[in-house]
Structure 1
């Protein structure tokens, strides 16, 4: 016997002869599996989608049609601002935030209230809260005695309620990359929707115009008040500056007091320098005159004086005349006497002229000295005055700056006031309507065809999701591919669903319906068993399942009949808790069997029964022992099984389910191979995996699985299950409805 490593309970035997599964594209296989899952429930999905579509259609028919009218508004300039003249002419702000702001203003409460008052919407049933039906919440509150007190509807409250309704049904949408805003209103009345849309546009323009005028007027009033105060500040600053100048004797002509003072000092300095030069020039001659003591002829300044030179020239002429006369006449000669007298007069004149010039030079020096002293005194006084002015200059500069800044501020506000007045006179409309809303002909919603179509598509999608969810929640095995992937063992064969045939007819279907799909599937399993361990002359196979009702007994009986067609075969009923073999093959009640043979109370000829017209011998359960597991664990059972294997080439053992008792685990260690039977669409694969694990951990060798109860028509259509013998299905009518083998 062979054992399997318990560390790999789901691994297929290395020499099981199972072919390798062909590798396929995982993505294609996954999409195909999803399609098959959806296709299997396509009628249910379609029914769900149609039902939802019908319900949606009925709901849309019951809904009140709503109409939507749209007006287009062109935003031309931004709101009025107290800015410069250039900004007044600058035009519209192109920023995205600006247009979004205008859109929000269109939806504002102020605009809504203007429209409500203009159209008296609170008298319309759509807007009048007094005509609104009582809501579910109010009804429930009335039932429990919590109804709020009745509202006394005044005109302001009605306007607020109507404005709220208007805002809820108003849609304002800026058109991308443009200055256009679309104003849409939805109403039960086509005419009212157009009227409200146009009224909203007009109310927005009026509101903006009023706001701009109000802002400008407030700015004008503010600037006028500010200008009056600034004017007083300028006057006070100028008066303070003038008083300071007067106190400090500061004369400022054309804003150049420092320049005047400096120019005066420079002039005095120049005059003083010239006077000092003049004094220096006359001082030498003055000193020489003082030292000459009346003899001025040696003084150059006197000698070079024109008057003196003229007098000397006259004296020389007279002396020359005297000299000439002295050569002709004597001293006493009248001509000589006259000439000498004339010479004396000339000399006296020369002396007189010298004295006069010397006196003049003295006066020039004294005048130059006096001038220097006077200029020095004046320059000192002027410098003292400038120093005093300089000491007073900081305070005066402060006062001048105060006057300048106050006047500059006053001029700025005066300019702004003029600009504000100009902008007020040049106010332009911020927006204009380029498309007037007209009453629509067809309703805006509900879009009945679109709703029904979308509901149908969503219903199909929802149905597909539900189908996929149900498939994921379904943990049963659908076909051989599913069984191999989930159980990790090769699927030897798949048995079809059988009809309403009784158990006896199912147990020997290989012989009674030899051309059926069921019989062919059993023969396929027989071929797999015969190909396994071909070198062994004697083979013992165990047929078991995880739970009851999976068709293991039917599989064991038909597999034994299939083997009996080629060689002597023994079918052993080791299910000592719910034996089926004796009754299914028509053995007499109380027939001796396995329990008596192992106990030694009968021999093989008494315990083994031949099935008519076959090479199949049946060893029924016999008398059910009190503890079947101990019987199977006994050495006598092993010896009995050894003796039977020497007589029969193939022994098929029907054992109880693995999950119920441990008999199958005991038997699995004593047989050549084990066939694990799983019912499709019934047994959770987790239970089957647990049963397989138990057998492998007990040392059993599982050759493969047998999938029973497979609906080949549905499996081929929805799961890709295929049998080359499917054409038998058209003949074997009655074997494709639900039933247990």
Structure 2
């Protein structure tokens, strides 16, 4: 497995970040104090602003005693959307313009546009609107809206009207005037609504009256033409007659039954020879009553004479003869009564038949009237609806007219808090503003310094659990402690100044070259190895020397064979520069750690070289990003020509020619090309052919 630069291989050096802030504390504090002082000065010179607010409560003001008849139920409260709509009405242009005219805001200096130099420049460039072409009322309205704030308090029906101004009295006058204007506009709206209602209801009521008259006339006309005249209890006459006939028929039937029963009783008594004088129907006759009285007298006389006379006495026989005559008269009278009863029963039967016939005829008449009543009821419903609508309109008209006459138009809003002129300005607050500016600048400067350290890579360090960096010694290079090595490198750089490479015969070893590069402050080094891949050991050695000295170093391998990166990695199968050029990998995937030092390396990569060359224009961008992240960027180009490295050169770039044999023709050709390009290279000699040191795993296995 390779040793790639991933999030688990590096960590943030908190100590370095703290030290960077400590080193630049004077800069952070100085800038923060300057900004805070400037903010205090600006705030102290700013025009003071005052703010006042008025508050309205949106609620029904109608009394239960004066509420219209149709609204007898509980008052309906406005919902949140309704209250928000009222807030928009308050801040409408019409109300604001009325307030501006009432308070003559156009004459006040703070409502007059005085464009600054910046505004005039923007107007000249066409980036802003010329205030001179804005109508005065529109300009006042714009300034008024900028200073005004109308909002609803959450979860309530309270609307706040807040206004800020340079004049404390004006800051209170404007909200009060707006609140009064809103209440007046609502009252005017109700007045207009009532006037419109009465104006519309008056002719509508007249039309309804005519329609009611016509509808009721149609009902009466149809009732008369259809014989649907009303009798008692608003009952149709035919139905009433049917009811009367039915009642009469019932009565006649009962009378007939009674007459037949009486006649039958008398008939049976006569036929059976019974004493008919005992029958109630017979006893009711006055003649029978007189004959019975005479019969009782004769029987009394006979009984009295029988005590002294024999039954054959003429007087007794005369009385008995009279008694027999009386009995005969009683029987005759009973037969006459029977005839009368039978005649009465027959009369009742005939009356019953007549009534039954009349009842049948009346039923047919009622059936006909029922059909007509269906249409009659429809006409009556239409007349009733027209009548109800007329009464409703008349009631509303009277209510609206009464409200207009008495000028009773309650508004559903109440000003429960009027604005008062403030004594202290809300802006500016020099001390809090200066303190906020100081704290903000202090924080911003600290963040900028920390970001600079992070992006430069100086605040990154290897992760504690990462691969242990074990560096194998280069041939013929003595190993010393890091601090001593840094002192020696710097000493050699001072003893052998950087201008030595100007002479073709001036050759340096790896240690001297590292010291010279460190002292010169170079940021990018381009390596040429005319004699082949074996000379690439120079770039590896210098990279490790600079890394041991505490610098962040990256070696970019642009050789075909990967000769520079192979000694630093475990294998060739790592993402590298070709993968970056083809966008198949990110920087975190292509940057790997050296097995034997703290330096980093980007190998050749695994992508197709021809495809990578098609995106060679991306190489300068990649190099720029790497230069910003590392102290020194080293580019090993291998055995290439001097003209091919032109795109790799920039400010603070040195060229190093790695040589094994000074007299090699390829070295001379490269030096000549560089001299022709005006480039003075640094010659670094590789004393022996370089064999890559054994990997740690190989040594452990040995």
- Return the TM-score normalized by structure 2: 0.60
Aligned partner (choices 467, 481, 484) of residue 449 of structure 2 = 467
For the Cα contact (< 8 Å) 2:486–2:549, is it kept in 1? Answer: no
Larger radius of gyration: 1
The aligned counterpart of 1:249 is: 228
The aligned counterpart of 2:437 is: 455
Establish whether residue 658 from structure 1 lines up as the match of residue 642 from structure 2.
no
Aligned partner (choices 2, 20, 41) of residue 8 of structure 1 = 2
Aligned partner (choices 568, 573, 579) of residue 696 of structure 1 = 568
The aligned counterpart of 2:364 is: 384
CA distance in 2, matches of 1:188, 1:70: 11
Superposition map of 1:516-595 within 5 A: 549-550=514-515
Per-residue CA distance 1:629-680 (angstroms, 9 max, x = gap): 69x79xxxxxxxxxxxxxxxxxxxxx96326xxxx69xxxxxxxx9644276
Aligned partner (choices 483, 503, 506) of residue 492 of structure 2 = 503
Establish whether residue 396 from structure 1 lines up as the match of residue 376 from structure 2.
yes
The aligned counterpart of 1:437 is: 419
Establish whether residue 678 from structure 1 lines up as the match of residue 547 from structure 2.
yes
- Return the TM-score normalized by structure 1: 0.57
Superposition map of 1:215-614 within 5 A: 215-247=193-225, 248-251=227-230, 253-257=232-236, 260=240, 263-281=243-261, 284=264, 298=273, 304=279, 305-306=282-283, 307=287, 311=291, 342=322, 346=326, 349-350=329-330, 352-354=332-334, 356-417=336-397, 420=400, 426-428=408-410, 430-475=412-457, 481=461, 489=469, 493-494=482-483, 503=492, 549-550=514-515
CA distance in 2, matches of 1:329, 1:442: 153
Per-residue CA distance 1:179-198 (angstroms, 9 max, x = gap): 54432212233333232222
The aligned counterpart of 1:113 is: 97
Which deviates more, 400-409 or 88-97?
Answer: 88-97
Establish whether residue 172 from structure 1 lines up as the match of residue 150 from structure 2.
yes
> 1:287/1:418 Cα in 2 relative to 1: closer, same or farther (>3 Å)?
same
Per-residue CA distance 1:5-54 (angstroms, 9 max, x = gap): xx53679xxxxxxxxxxx9x98xx77656544544443333344344445
Establish whether residue 214 from structure 1 lines up as the match of residue 188 from structure 2.
no
For the Cα contact (< 8 Å) 1:88–1:423, is it kept in 2? Answer: no
Q: Number of matched residues?
A: 536
CA distance in 2, matches of 1:699, 1:373: 134
The aligned counterpart of 1:67 is: 49
For the Cα contact (< 8 Å) 2:58–2:158, is it kept in 1? Answer: no
The aligned counterpart of 2:29 is: 46
For the Cα contact (< 8 Å) 1:73–1:435, is it kept in 2? Answer: yes
TM-aligned CA deviation for residue 699 of structure 1: 9.6
TM-aligned CA deviation for residue 115 of structure 1: 0.4
> 1:548/1:319 Cα in 2 relative to 1: closer, same or farther (>3 Å)?
same
CA distance in 2, matches of 1:179, 1:699: 76
For the Cα contact (< 8 Å) 1:71–1:433, is it kept in 2? Answer: no
The aligned counterpart of 1:569 is: none
CA distance in 1, matches of 2:138, 2:230: 72
> 1:117/1:398 Cα in 2 relative to 1: closer, same or farther (>3 Å)?
same
CA distance in 2, matches of 1:346, 1:188: 140
SS in 2 for 1:126: helix
> 1:53/1:436 Cα in 2 relative to 1: closer, same or farther (>3 Å)?
same
CA distance in 1, matches of 2:421, 2:549: 65
CA distance in 1, matches of 2:565, 2:186: 83
CA distance in 2, matches of 1:466, 1:61: 29
For the Cα contact (< 8 Å) 2:242–2:363, is it kept in 1? Answer: no
TM-aligned CA deviation for residue 199 of structure 1: 1.6
CA distance in 2, matches of 1:389, 1:71: 76
Q: Which runs of 5+ in 2 are unaligned?
A: 472-480, 497-508, 520-526, 573-592, 600-702
Per-residue CA distance 1:497-527 (angstroms, 9 max, x = gap): 76998637769xxxxxxxxxxxxxxxxxxxx
CA distance in 2, matches of 1:352, 1:488: 161
Per-residue CA distance 1:77-102 (angstroms, 9 max, x = gap): 24879975595895683743344333
The aligned counterpart of 1:731 is: none
CA distance in 1, matches of 2:93, 2:425: 27
SS in 1 for 2:482: strand
Superposition map of 1:118-137 within 5 A: 118-128=102-112, 132-133=114-115
SS in 1 for 2:99: helix
For the Cα contact (< 8 Å) 1:170–1:184, is it kept in 2? Answer: yes
> 1:328/1:412 Cα in 2 relative to 1: closer, same or farther (>3 Å)?
same
TM-aligned CA deviation for residue 628 of structure 1: 6.0
CA distance in 2, matches of 1:278, 1:336: 43
The aligned counterpart of 1:202 is: 180
Superposition map of 1:630-649 within 5 A: none
For the Cα contact (< 8 Å) 1:66–1:188, is it kept in 2? Answer: yes
Q: Which runs of 5+ in 1 are unaligned?
A: 1-6, 12-22, 290-294, 508-542, 555-576, 579-625, 634-654, 666-673, 708-741
TM-aligned CA deviation for residue 429 of structure 1: 5.1
> 1:235/1:160 Cα in 2 relative to 1: closer, same or farther (>3 Å)?
farther
